Amino acid sequence: MTVTADRFSGFVAIDWSGAHGVAHPGIQVALCHSGNAAPVIVAPPGRAWSREGVADWLLTRADEPLLIGFDFSFSAPFVMRGAHLPGDRPTADARALWAYVDDSCDDPDLGARSFLEARRGRHFYFGAADGRKADFLHWRTCEIAIGGARKPSTVYDAIGASQVAKASFAGMRMLRRLDGHVAIWPFDPVPPSGALVVEIYTSIAARDAGRPRGRSKIRSAEALNNALIALGSELHDPLDRYDDHSTDAILTAAWLRAMATRDDLWRPAGLTRQVAQTEGWTFGVS
């Protein structure tokens, strides 16, 4: 697979949220175009983005040559245990998992909190009453790095600042909404035209921009500009507030633009057909 320099002309990074409710300041959308102009924050249609609003925004742009990154896990571990949720309803691939989650939830705005809470202690860890946290931690193939290092959290961990469970399962509901209208990699191949959605991990973008491990979050104009320069971008327009959500989105949009033509990121060694269809992959992990 070769992605040519003219395949995508727009690059979108979306800092996601699994929070309860219908308006989420934690969701930020950043967009840049081919060239080197810095990404800009896309204003929400209301006071804050909703998950439904993000899905609608993307669906209206399905035919545009956009590379779109979301920072949540697109699926749950499968390969090591032969199931996403052992003992629960079987889901043969990631799309079946998205459908199961979506069909099981009536939470507002594509939320998935009820799905996790109904399976607390069986699949999801919410606290000490559920047992040993270590017993709940299982990783996808792409989350196990060279040397055995792992991401700090998994989709089964629903407690603490680093948890990604609520955002990821809410995101799976959103992916089901997009499925069939917008290509989703690696479950779909890169299409010859139109938009493509990929999973991102903002810490990878930060490291590639020169941020030291453990200090990936950016909270100042100077730090953001330094990181953007490292990715070949011009300086950004000043923000009203330098919060993690906005700076993560801006930096990662610039990173997507810089990395979009790297063949090794589209063809990582561990991305077998089984992994691609059941677990997915984080773009940027090679």
- What is the tens place of the pLDDT at every residue in 58-99? 999 999 999 999 999 999 999 999 999 999 999 999 999 999
Helix (H, G, I), strand (E, B) or coil at 124: strand
Provide the edge-to-edge strand list for the sheet that holds 10-15: 40-41, 28-33, 10-15, 66-70, 196-199, 183-184
Residue 143 has pLDDT above 80, yes or no: yes
Provide the H-helix boundaries in the chain: 51-59, 94-104, 113-118, 165-178, 202-208, 221-230, 244-259, 263-266, 273-278
Structure confidence by residue, pLDDT tens digits, 181-211: 999 999 999 999 999 999 999 989 989 988 8
Structure confidence by residue, pLDDT tens digits, 9-58: 999 999 999 998 899 999 999 999 999 999 999 999 989 999 999 999 99
pLDDT reported for residue 205: 92
Instruction: Find, among 67, 89, 66, the residue nearest to 76 by Cα.
Output: 89
pLDDT reported for residue 76: 98
What integer is the mean pLDDT of 137-142?
A: 94
Residue 242 has pLDDT above 80, yes or no: yes
C-alpha to C-alpha distance for 4 and 77, rounded to whole angstroms: 31
82/144: higher pLDDT = 82
